[in-house]
Amino acid sequence: MSSLLRPADVVFEIDLAALQANFQTISALVGPGVRVAAVVKSDAYGLGLVEIARALIQVGCDLFFVANLDEALLLRSSHIGAAIAVFCDEFAKFGQYYRSMGLIPVVNNCIELHAINAARETQTYFLNVESGFSRLGLAFVDVRRTYLSGTFEQHPPSVVLSHLACSERAEDPINVLQRNRFRAVYDLLRPSRGSLAASAGVWLGKSYHFDIVRVGSALYGLNNAGIEPNPLQPVASLRAKILDVRNVARREAVGYGATFRTIRTSRVAIAAIGYKHGLPWTCANKISVRFGGYSAPLIGRISMEYATIDLTDVPAALCGPGSFVELLGKDFKVDDLAAAAGVNPQEVLTRLGAGCARQYLTSSSPSAAQANAGERHEPLALE
């Protein structure tokens, strides 16, 4: 039996023009001497890997970072001709794919570095160094040992990078410590390019920019650094259909656990969105949604597929069954929802992107043919 095709009850909308504007804002901030690379890992934070990459190419982005080889191969097979760097996957095991598809491995340990050096063909690679994050990357002692052995002279990295732990807190002394440690490695190896700052790190100033900034969250409208006034445009919006509206008597419970009880006879809507779609369970009884110029509180616990809304103060003509309620938009952004729910805004984006039907808004921009002109499988020049 064929599946029933119908419009989605939950729509996660991505504004590609806002995405492009954010890229241009960051490019203007760092200046022409610094390359802005896009971090599109985890399906571009849930917004759609290929669609996001194509939109960014139109405004001049030519370097993308992905999480693993699967994402890199998907991006390359979609005729993306830009340089693609893979944050973490086994070059020692999958070197043939890196070479044949023109992908750049990020080397995180001595095993991978040995595989690069042992390869018969010269391989472009980026070197990740540990500066105080304690996740991935070569420790300084390993960098120094490898340097003294002459390995970097024979097989130099195109880019040396590291990752800041506390860049969203501008006054945290760890930022200065990591910058100084990274500067020591940068000065020792003298690579063609260096990259320390990600999204929040961009706002720390020129001394953190080096040659490349790796921007993910900020492209997608997340203001992790809390910059005011916020120069970033919201990229994601969220709407859900009203399935039913009912009258609920005073002092009646709404939802699991009776966490909300009406204080008056209320008009309550059941919206077709729940934690299955990525709406945080912890935002129950903490946020409001919008119908035109009106707002209405979300009441009771979030269910797997439903949420309940108090419509008592909203004109009935605006919010009957079949109408859509706005949960995210210009007035209430992903950052706001994350703060209310006590979760990470990146987590909100990736969960919504995985659980909702995505729609894309575009505006006048260079054609797709222009965006993909000159497609090729070798990495773009990094010199």
Same domain, 157 and 55: yes
> Is 9 a domain residue?
no
Q: Could you list the residue range(s) of the whole structural domain that residue 303 is in?
A: 236-332
Q: Are 27 and 202 in contact (CB under 8 A)?
A: no
Mean pLDDT across the chain, nearest whole number?
89
Same domain, 42 and 95: yes
Residue 122 has pLDDT above 90, yes or no: no
Residues 6+ apart with CB under 8 A from 325: 239, 240, 241, 242, 269, 271, 289, 290, 291, 296, 309, 319
* pLDDT per residue as tens digits for the range 311-332: 999 998 888 999 999 999 999 9
> Is 103 a domain residue?
yes
Catalytic residue among 41, 208, 241, 275: 41
DSSP-H helix ranges across the chain:
16-30, 41-45, 49-57, 69-77, 91-100, 110-118, 140-148, 151-154, 173-189, 334-341, 345-355, 368-371
Same domain, 145 and 283: no
Same domain, 184 and 259: no
> pLDDT grade, residue 287 (50/70/90)?
very high
* pLDDT per residue as tens digits for the range 29-51: 999 999 999 999 999 999 999 99
* pLDDT per residue as tens digits for the range 225-257: 999 999 999 999 999 999 999 999 999 999 999
Same domain, 120 and 257: no
Residue 375 has pLDDT above 60, yes or no: no
> Is 361 a domain residue?
no
Same domain, 107 and 151: yes
* pLDDT per residue as tens digits for the range 136-173: 888 888 898 888 888 888 888 999 999 999 999 999 99
> Is 340 a domain residue?
no
Same domain, 118 and 208: yes
Cβ neighbours around 347 below 10 Å, total = 16
Same domain, 77 and 199: yes
* Per-residue pLDDT, 83: 95
* Per-residue pLDDT, 370: 36
Same domain, 135 and 279: no
pTM (two decimals): 0.89
Domain end marker among 173, 188, 220: 220
Same domain, 30 and 137: yes
DSSP state of 195: E
> Is 148 a domain residue?
yes
Q: Number of folded domains in the chain?
A: 2
> Is 6 a domain residue?
no
Residue 378 has pLDDT above 60, yes or no: no
Using the structure block, give the residue that is written with the tokens 């059941």: 270
Using the structure block, give the residue that is written with the tokens 């241009």: 24
Say which CATH number the domain at 284 has.
2.40.37.10
Domain end marker among 172, 195, 220: 220
* pLDDT per residue as tens digits for the range 168-218: 999 999 999 999 999 999 999 988 899 999 999 999 999 999 999 999 999
> Is 382 a domain residue?
no
Same domain, 69 and 117: yes
Nearest by Cα to 75 from 96, 101, 46 = 101
Residue 382 has pLDDT above 80, yes or no: no
Query: Active-site residue 256, yes or no?
Result: yes
> Is 356 a domain residue?
no
Residue 10 has pLDDT above 70, yes or no: yes
Say which CATH number the domain at 33 has.
3.20.20.10
* Per-residue pLDDT, 362: 85
What stretches of the chain adopt beta strand conformation (E)? 10-15, 35-39, 63-66, 83-86, 104-107, 126-128, 159-161, 193-195, 212-215, 236-248, 253-254, 260-261, 266-271, 288-291, 294-299, 307-310, 324-328, 357-361
* Per-residue pLDDT, 374: 33
Mean local confidence (pLDDT), 300-309: 96
Same domain, 294 and 216: no
Query: Active-site residue 208, yes or no?
Result: no
Catalytic residue among 45, 186, 241, 256: 256
